[in-house]
Amino acid sequence: MVTLKDIAKKAGVSAMTVSRALNGKMKDISPQTAEKIRKIAEEMGYIPNSSARALASHSSKLVAVMLPDKTDSPNPLMDSYNSYFCGELAREIQKNGYDLMLHFIRDYSEINYCLKSWQVAGAVFIGAFDENIRQIQEDNPIPLIFTDSYSTVRRITNVGIDDFRGGELAAEYLLSKGHRNLAFIGPKALGNGVVMHRLQGFTHALKKAGISLPKNRIQIFSKINLDSMLKELKKGPDPVTGIFINADSMAYEIFAAARRQGYEIPGDFSVVGFDDNPMSSLAMPPLTTIRQDISRKAEIACQLLMKKLQDPKTAPGENIILDVELVERESVSVLS
């Protein structure tokens, strides 16, 4: 049985450093050293500790849920979509007699280490893993389910939503209420498939109406500069009156920034969000948003995983796209 001391000896570090690196406690450990330790542990076939060994002995009943840890929040579960989806996914996985292990992923090397050392039966990937999907599949011959993927890799199994149509619905609704000076606010990763398709749908609907979206009206969301961003959007002869925001959680932050600057919603800014998180109906004012059925997405992801677990060799790759719909509340005004 490989021990921490065995890994420490090969890596040229202390057993305490190995323990901290393998448990994600990165203080005073460089990323290069941590990656080196994880790779050595993987090569040596190390299983983390006694509780992990017990879990590994029941590996056929353990499902890993992988969540990118690359947000501006202290942890990914502070994002309301992530927490809601993970909760629904956990319920579905447990309903099928499996246990769930949630893992935050900071870099690619952690994926293989986690999946192999814990000997999981399968895994569900939440969010942006597209650039690594081919390698993930090659390195891990177990049932894998991806969500919201726009990867061109063949034979992957994915559950997503019609992000493009969601962007169209947001634009069409704002236009129907008389808004012509519009803006889009999204995360730093605008090139990410989900965000890009929502923006493309938004601009496509505007173009059909003869309206263009200037580059300075496509804004990167940052809690640090929200107040100044809103001020900039109100400058000039054609101030912005309507905003499409990539996620409801960002919309809540926009509401707060607007109040700080003395703006009214929907009087000064009309806002359309995306997701329809549980808090959106309780926001002040209640948020008009593009709804995706998060519970249904989790249910289908689990069904596809169970299908692969039952017949991993012949289960085909599938790409299931769920519809979205607009939920009208009170955050958009009517312009004459």
35: CATH: 1.10.260.40
More confident residue, 71 or 165: 165
Residue type for position 159? V
Q: Cα separations (Å) of 63 from 28, 114, 155, 310, 334?
A: 31, 11, 20, 14, 48
8-39 CB burial, b ≥16 within 10 A, e <16 = bebbebeeebbbbbbeeeeeeeeeebbbbbbe
Calculate the alpha carbon distances from 145 to 43, 142, 168, 303 in Å. 25, 10, 27, 10
- Provide the percentage of residues in the chain whose pLDDT is more than 70: 92
pLDDT tens per residue across span 147-167: 999 988 878 999 999 999 999
- Domain membership of residue 99 (yes or no) is no
Contact residues for 5 (Cβ-Cβ < 8 A; gap 6+): 15
Q: Which of 269, 292, 315 is the last residue of a domain?
A: 292
Give this prediction's pTM: 0.82
- 249 is a domain residue: yes
The domain containing residue 26 runs over which residues?
1-46
Is the pLDDT assigned to residue 7 strictly greater than 90? yes
Residue 9 inside a domain? The answer is: yes
How large is the average pLDDT for residues 40-57? Answer: 67
pLDDT at 84 over 50: yes
Domain-ending residue, one of 277, 292, 307: 292
> 311 lies in a domain?
no
Domain count, the chain: 2
Q: Is a pLDDT exceeding 70 seen at residue 52?
A: no
Q: Is residue 52 part of a domain?
A: no
Mean pLDDT of 206-234: 94
Which one, of 81, 91, 7, lies nearest residue 299 by Cα? 91
- Average pLDDT of span 308-327: 88
Q: Is residue 239 part of a domain?
A: yes
Give a yes or no: residue 193 inside a domain. Answer: yes
| pLDDT score at 130 | 76
What mean pLDDT comes out for the span 239-251?
97
Q: What is the DSSP letter of 335?
A: P
CA distances from 287 to 23, 143, 291 (A): 39, 38, 11
CATH of the domain at 183: 3.40.50.2300
pLDDT at 217 over 80: yes
The token pair at 127 is 């969010």
Which residues contact residue 219 at a Cβ distance below 8 angstroms, ignoring those fewer than 6 apart? 183, 184, 185, 186, 229, 233
pLDDT at 50: 44
* In-domain check, residue 7: yes
Residue 127 has pLDDT above 60, yes or no: yes
